[in-house]
Structure 1
Amino acid sequence: MFGLTPDEITALWLTFKLAGTVTIVLLFISTPLAWWLARSRSSMVAFVSALVALPIVLPPSVLGFYFLIAFSPQGVIGQLSQSLGMSGLAFSFSGLVIASVIYSLPFVVQPIQNAFVAMEQSSLEAAATLGANPLACFFQIALPNAKVGLLTGAILGFAHTVGEFGVILMIGGNIPGETQVVSVKIYEYVESLNYTQAHRLSAILLVFSFIVLFWVYLKQKQAGLSGRV
């Protein structure tokens, strides 16, 4: 396939496996969190919003360093995993999933939150007037109306995880078949001056990233036009 070596195919498979797992986890976490951020008047909203958005401005190496400390046998998460009989999280696929969920969180929360904020309150108020409880309003009114935001968040979360490098290198290192994703494989090729293979993998990610962004902007434009009709 595209002249890829078995190691490159494994790296691609591992990359998309990681991105898919992280996206599913993020949707379950981000949707109720985004709903709370969009609806709550608590004084904690600003603090939680800043905490969620922190990975956007924080260097990945800094985030990866603190994850590495937390995942170590002496760290809080490392000690907890050991007490539960789990293997170490550092330099493992499970550790990559946990770190990637935190790192990609704002890219999923923010589109969903924006969709909830832009939602017309009249439909929610009408449902409440008819006796619908808050849970029913959320599942029957809010989620269907926020489907573009949900889809956008899922796509951006997936794509952002595919493009991770700093956090993954700090947490997972470069273990073939376990933590060696495409971005790390490209780095390995560049280090060994193997630019031909680096270019091939980079081109695949470049085309993938453009298609994802084009689709997201197209859907957002279509949603905006339909909202004016």
Structure 2
Amino acid sequence: MTLLSVNTGRAKSVAYSESASGRTGIDKRPVDGPVRIDAPGPAGVGASGVAGDDVCDLRFHGGADRAVYAFAREDLDRWERELGKELANGSFGENLTTSGLDVNGALIGERWRIGEEVVLEVTGGRIPCRTFQGHLEELGLDARGWVRRFTRAEAGPGALLRVIEPGEVRAGDPVTVVHRPDHSVTVALLHRAATTERKLLPGTLVAAEWMESGLLAVARQYAEKYGA
């Protein structure tokens, strides 16, 4: 299991951004050399945990439990075949592009050591938005209906991560799973529960202590309304 690239993006003004500023940092590109990863502060206040990476919409991105976003190269390859266009590392706005790691099968609360210093903890999966769709259209893709298409795809949403141990990472670093909690809620399962199979939401609360705040709120609200 390997880190193929570390990707960062600088904020720019675009017509398709959903942020109040009209800016987005979704256009991420691989970075040469080591990159610092730190806990960025609480949700809604802290931005990206990756040095040099801009987050513009703090409602849905950044903060302690959404500090880093990882996506598997294997899933990018699947989308390449489906979309008929080459997708470079970082094309889906991910900070970390991995190889050989089951990103979507990771358990909520699972911990990964990357290189010698950094430990990250899985908190959830990406919920797609119109900014994501607009970014792909800017790359020259036919992304009509992208939010629904990505949500329902078998490839999976990729993993959101919090920083447990800060430090530096770089392309080529090994990735090791160092902890797996005692439950069965994966990134893929939580994503389905939050989007297309809401009846699964109460069962995801066994992973509440590790779950990112936005998805946790959705799960709790559903359970309170409809029962476990």
Give TM class, smaller chain.
under 0.3
Higher helix share: 1
Q: Which has the higher contact order (CA 8 A, sep 6+)?
A: 1
Q: Which has the larger radius of gyration?
A: 1
Higher strand share: 2
TM-score (norm 1): 0.25
